[in-house]
Structure 1
């Protein structure tokens, strides 16, 4: 574990953009801090296997560089486009595989659970989630665009709140 405390990697999977948010919580502190956040972007001209390989490589770099002790991933929820759901599921599979290969426990949360945990309301709008992520992490100066960045940080925050009693600190 890092001297920053417990490191959690939150992920909002997708084949075009995969959002990630790495957070830390120091022992004896109530504050959660952003370590790094951003997106992994793949070009639409690439084949799906090439896109998945890029996501796999970039996730591997994040895990190797920041040493998260847990990974939190948003579960898939689609009620319209099954083709999109399948490709997002494949991106999730690459992320889960990467964590498993490095023996990092993975925790999965539905969008409803994430919104309930971060905003206090499971049907919160995107703007409300972004506002609360910025407030909780005290990051008014960081732009959380595209939405995948805010979503990934929200997943990480949700996990931090859900696993609060199980936190092992440095």
Structure 2
């Protein structure tokens, strides 16, 4: 199974591609779609085209995207929502299932704490994917989203009931 993780942003959109092989996440690719300053419509179109191209290149089975968080800056939240919208549109156009995860859940899944710092996420992504160096912050976030999705989708081992006393 191939998972495409996306950390949307109006200036920098991180992406990470992870395969699930023999029950373990395996690194495939990661990077960032960087948009220049300028008209927001052109920046959104560039994100859409970048995500579409990456989907065509990597052929993921599923996509995982970070949910929008509440921001004190309404303008920033609006731009983030727009970037996220074009990511979701590109994924829908490709006909791929998408899952959404809150940032705290992603951090919890990868580091063990929902309050992890960006450097902690980068470090754990490097360790979990056996990378020689930590990816950039945005790419690490996207890889963490993909890993979170894999961890969420894994079937849980059945719990064994213990009977106390005689039968």
- Normalised TM-score (structure 1): 0.88
Structure 2 match to 1:3: none
1:144 aligns with 2:139: no
1:9 aligns with 2:1: no
Structure 1 match to 2:127: 135
Question: Deviation digits for residues 122-161 of structure 1, max 9, x if unmatched?
Answer: 11111211111111100023x412x111110110100010
1:161 aligns with 2:154: no
RMSD between aligned alpha carbons?
A: 1.3
After the TM superposition, which segments of 4 or more aligned residues of structure 1 sit over 4 Å from their partners? none
Q: Following the alignment from structure 2 to structure 1, what is the Cα–Cα distance between the partners of residues 155 and 94?
A: 24
Figure out how many residues of one structure are paired with residues of the other and give that number: 156
Q: Larger relative contact order (C-alpha < 8 A, sep ≥ 6)? A: 1
Q: Following the alignment from structure 1 to structure 2, what is the Cα–Cα distance between the partners of residues 13 and 63?
A: 15
Q: Following the alignment from structure 2 to structure 1, what is the Cα–Cα distance between the partners of residues 119 and 56?
A: 32
Structure 1 match to 2:20: 25
Structure 2 match to 1:73: 65
Q: Following the alignment from structure 2 to structure 1, what is the Cα–Cα distance between the partners of residues 92 and 51?
A: 12
Q: 1:78 Cα shift?
A: 3.2
Q: 1:71 Cα shift?
A: 0.6
Q: 1:52 Cα shift?
A: 0.4
- Normalised TM-score (structure 2): 0.90
Q: 1:11 Cα shift?
A: 0.4
Q: 1:79 Cα shift?
A: 2.8
Give 1:37-56 correspondences, 5 Å limit. Answer: 37-44=30-37, 46-56=38-48
Give 1:95-134 correspondences, 5 Å limit. Answer: 95-134=87-126
Q: Following the alignment from structure 2 to structure 1, what is the Cα–Cα distance between the partners of residues 153 and 24?
A: 15
Unaligned runs of 5+ in 2: 157-167
